[in-house]
Amino acid sequence: MEEKKSFLKEKIDHKSPNKNIVPITTSIGSDGKLSIGGCSIEELVKKYDSPLYILDEITLRNSCKAYKKALKEYYPGESLPIYASKANSSVLMSNLVSSEGFGLDAVSEGELLTALKGGVPNEKIVFHGNNKSTKEIEFAVRNNIKVIVDNDYDLERLEVLSNSLNRDLEIMIRFTPGIECHTHEYIRTGSFDSKFGFGIEYLNTLFDKISNFKYLKLKGLHAHIGSQIFELEPHKDLGEIMVNVILDAKKFGHDIKKLNVGGGLGIKYTENDDPPSIEEWVKTISASVVKACKKHNLDLPTLMCEPGRSIVSTAGITVYKIGAFKKIPGIRTYLSVDGGMSDNPRPITYQSNYSACLVSNPLNINSKNKYTIAGKHCESGDVLFKEIELADCKTGDLICVFGTGAYNNSMSSNYNRIPRPATVLVSDGESEVIQMRESPLDLLKYDVLPNRFIKQN
């Protein structure tokens, strides 16, 4: 039998999971089949059905520990890593990252409630967003959650709210540092042309305005330069820029105590990806901030960072069951699965690439076929892989897609009225549901037929 080179034979990096394609606990049994967290994937699908999201607890915890360890080693001041919950928001994720000493960032009341339900301390939660509702801002303030001010609209309402409460409110502001990164234009958030944050050229005017408010106290700065970044140099530049902004704020009487450098560290989706390690990323940004503070004789601020994808993406896989085959001679063979763009919208949205294998033949022994893996939705663009080499497979076989922990579940939909998959957490041979599978009846829960239609019938 011929065994092809496989990413599953690469050495696992336990210290920096973002440099792996597969979860840390991935293994191939004596039967040649794939397991995660000591659990047979075939058995998990028998128990929980498919499609199925699976999260590996060990990979999640190792990712968190890598950030904590690196911050302790390379940043001599106070630090607080904050999980960017938009990557994958659930009560379990909130509870797990909190247990590892992380805070959490949220961009909606739903994410705030999820964080609180998961046990994240209020003082370790930050509230982001470029168009927060008044209700959401009031919810955050009532719960003593720090608001990151994104624009003048945020600022105006917070001033009114602080006056009505007759008490001080600590705030942070987000600004765009103008750093370009080699990443997809739809997820590049740190350039001058961005919907997020105040323009850097406006900051002195902003600092002057805030200094005239009675109760709003500016205590922190936030900037973020993008996602899935493989370069270290932009983050080195970011530290210097942010410290210079601290100096500008100081001229207007603002004592900045917190510096939030955002996240954006990339992960390894395919064999061609080579992201920096978590340690390298933390070392770079820490050294930049420390150097700039020493240069200007500033006390070190609390250093905050907001990893999301690099915490959860590699820990997650999605398992599909193969259904129909369609061979178009001389063109391609379509292999259809029981999920697609509703549980993973990233390929159709960002043209994102992933790695995958058969659960029953993960090393692609005797692989000689190329397939286009199509989802089941009524969209021609619902394609998860355009050309992927797999061993012989048939209807009913399982395909495992790696690196789906981030922005799959959280961006999922009910397009074509297809229920969302269940999510299970695996560890030491045990599995537990952390998000239940939706049913078709669940999708009707919020549909209402107007009374006049009922009377007509």
8 A C-beta contact, residue 339 and residue 376:
yes
Please state, in angstroms and rounded to a whole number, the distance separating the CA atoms of residues 322 and 158: 52
Residue 16 CA to its chain's centroid (Å): 16
The single residue of 305, 378, 393, 400 carrying the catalytic annotation is: 378
Amino acid symbol at 276: P
8 A C-beta contact, residue 403 and residue 314:
yes
3-state helix/strand/coil string of 360-417: CCCCCECCCEEEEEECCCCCCCCEEEEEEEECCCCCCCEEEEECCCCCCCCCCCCHHH
Residue 130 per-residue DSSP state: S
**Sheet strands (E) in 236-362:** 258-260, 302-305, 316-328, 332-337, 356-358
| 20 to 63, 64, 99, 442: CA distances (angstroms) | 11, 15, 24, 36
Q: Which residue has the tokens 């239940």?
A: 436
Q: Which residue has the tokens 């979860």?
A: 23
Amino acid symbol at 30: S
61: three-class secondary structure by DSSP: helix
Q: Burial letters for 15-26: b for 16+ Cβ neighbours within 10 Å, e otherwise?
A: ebbbbbbbbbbb
52: three-class secondary structure by DSSP: strand
378 given a catalytic annotation: yes
- Please enumerate in sequence order all residues whose Cβ is within 8 A of that of 213, keeping only pairs 6 or more positions apart, or say none: 159, 162
Neighbour count for residue 27 (Cβ, 10 Å): 16
Please state, in angstroms and rounded to a whole number, the distance separating the CA atoms of residues 80 and 162: 26
Largest CA distance in the chain: 77
Catalytic residues: 378
